[in-house]
Structure 1
Amino acid sequence: MSLNNKLSQPAVRAFVAAVNATDRKALWATLTPDASMSDDNMDHNLVEWAEREIFGSHPRMDVEWESDDGLSLRARYHNDIWGDLSSAWTFTLTDGKISHFEAGPG
């Protein structure tokens, strides 16, 4: 059962919704102007990563677990590049927006 609509942090809930809708405007609205990210412990250019991993690959993120503070998730993630995989996501918030997130195997 997906927790997508029940996530406790509004910015994280909006991020997941934007990923699933492949909505550029909504995704960038969840992030601070200087947001950064890493994937598998490697820093990436956020814009390039999002174009490849989200907007160009038909993603679907189904959250299965959320930490007590709402800043860490485990999700089933699917896209055209990697297929289906278990993924872990950790978010850092600044003034209610995501300033950094980490994705990796879950």
Structure 2
Amino acid sequence: MTIQTSRLSDPAVRAFVTAVNDHDRDAFMSLLAPGATMADDGTDRDLADWIDREIFTSHGHLEVDNESNRGRDLVASYRNDTYGEMRTRWHFEVGDDGRISRFETGQA
């Protein structure tokens, strides 16, 4: 069963999922702390390159199935035009300022 984005517990994670699903690159970038990093399947990636390729040019979309760790860990169905749909896990590190300093994703 999918969790409605508006019901996600963590405000930064909720805004992240909303920005991905709305294909709103500006809103997405405003959520990231300066120097934010990310990893995909355990390997650090170039953030700007990855989000362009995996989210924005390929129409990425997240449907959250489960959240834990106060809303900072998700299990979700993720789909984009490149890879189709896959079950994924997401982990977010959010600073005191409410901005995401790191996120990690990979197949669940």
In the superposition, the TM-score normalised over structure 1's length comes to 0.96
Q: 1:89-100 alignment to 2 at 5 Å?
A: 89-94=90-95, 95-100=97-102
What is the percentage of aligned positions where both structures have the same residue?
47
The one-letter amino acid paired with 2:36 is A
* Partners of 2:75 and 2:13 in 1: CA distance: 12
Q: 1:30 Cα deviation (Å)?
A: 1.0
The number of aligned residues is 106
* Partners of 2:48 and 2:14 in 1: CA distance: 20
Q: 1:93 Cα deviation (Å)?
A: 0.6
Partner SS, residue 13 of structure 1: helix
Partner SS, residue 92 of structure 1: strand
Partner SS, residue 69 of structure 1: coil
Partner of 1:2: 2
Q: 1:2 Cα deviation (Å)?
A: 2.5
* Partners of 1:59 and 1:104 in 2: CA distance: 14
Partner SS, residue 53 of structure 2: helix
* Partners of 2:36 and 2:98 in 1: CA distance: 12
Partner of 1:104: 106
* Partners of 1:11 and 1:2 in 2: CA distance: 19
Q: 1:45-56 alignment to 2 at 5 Å?
A: 45-56=46-57
Q: 1:90 Cα deviation (Å)?
A: 0.2
1:16-46: CA deviation from partner (whole Å, max 9, x where unpaired): 0000111011101111011100000010010
The one-letter amino acid paired with 1:83 is G
Structure 2 residues not aligned, in runs of 5+: none
The one-letter amino acid paired with 1:14 is A
Q: 1:24-35 alignment to 2 at 5 Å?
A: 24-35=25-36
The one-letter amino acid paired with 2:77 is R
Q: 1:68 Cα deviation (Å)?
A: 4.1
Structure 1 residues not aligned, in runs of 5+: none
